[in-house]
Amino acid sequence: MRLLLVEDSLKLATWLSRALQQHGFAVDSIHDGAQADALLRTEKYDAIVLDLSLPSMDGLVVLQRLRESGVASPVIVLTARGDLEDRVKGLNLGADDYLVKPFDLSELEARLNAVIRRAHGVSAPVVCLGPLQYESSGRTFTIGGRRLNLRPKEHAVLEVLLLRTGKVVSKSALHDRVFSMDAAAGQDAVEVYIHRLRKQLVDTGLAIVTLRGLGYVLEAA
């Protein structure tokens, strides 16, 4: 899943980006409100982690402009401004959740998983398709009780396909959800991860089907 982290502290942003990447997220990091506002007009994200005290443009203004433009990506406000007035204003402007600094990484990750699930119309923390189960809280895939050992990008591709079960996902859409802006990999890299996943799914009753010219869909027999 692709995230945008908008945080003015370079030290915190660097640490948080690395931590989230280790958990399988593709993270773009921006440290300025106006730059984030411009980026959000051209790029799509599965979730946004937004600080409020930003240079150039306040985070609440970024949030307001985002919602006014019709973007529905879930937003978690992450800030040291924890007074009730700011929380209420942020929620009224369209924030999906609010986390006050200092925070625990595991709590942020749990909230990210929750808002991303809800954005895809999934309420339960465990998503199933045939014998495949995905536990979002632990970010683990199992088939018939056997855990799949997936590399981060393989995990990300399978997660996107599972959350869009029944829908065709184009190669470009997969690339955009799996790689951050600074990644050097082209769209052909998606085929590599699809090939690896298919090897993992042999004889499981699951298949990643290619619809030529359209994309991929995850199906259960």
Contact 131, 143 (CB under 8 A): yes
Quick one: what percent of the chain has pLDDT higher than 70?
Answer: 97
The identity of residue 101, as a single letter, is: K
Angle between helices 84-92 and 59-68 (to 10 degrees): 20
Residue-wise pLDDT for 72-127, tens only, equals 999 999 888 667 777 788 888 999 999 888 888 889 988 998 898 888 777 667 88
Structural domains for the chain = 2-119 (3.40.50.2300), 126-220 (1.10.10.10)
The crossing angle, in degrees rounded to 10, of helices 152-163 and 188-200 is: 80
Residue 31 has a CB neighbour count (10 Å cut-off) of 18
Residue positions counted in the chain: 221
- Ranking 10-14, 71-75, 163-167, 216-220 by mean pLDDT, the lowest is 163-167
Q: Using a pLDDT cut of 90, give the percent of the chain over it.
A: 47
211 confidence band (pLDDT: 50, 70, 90)? very high
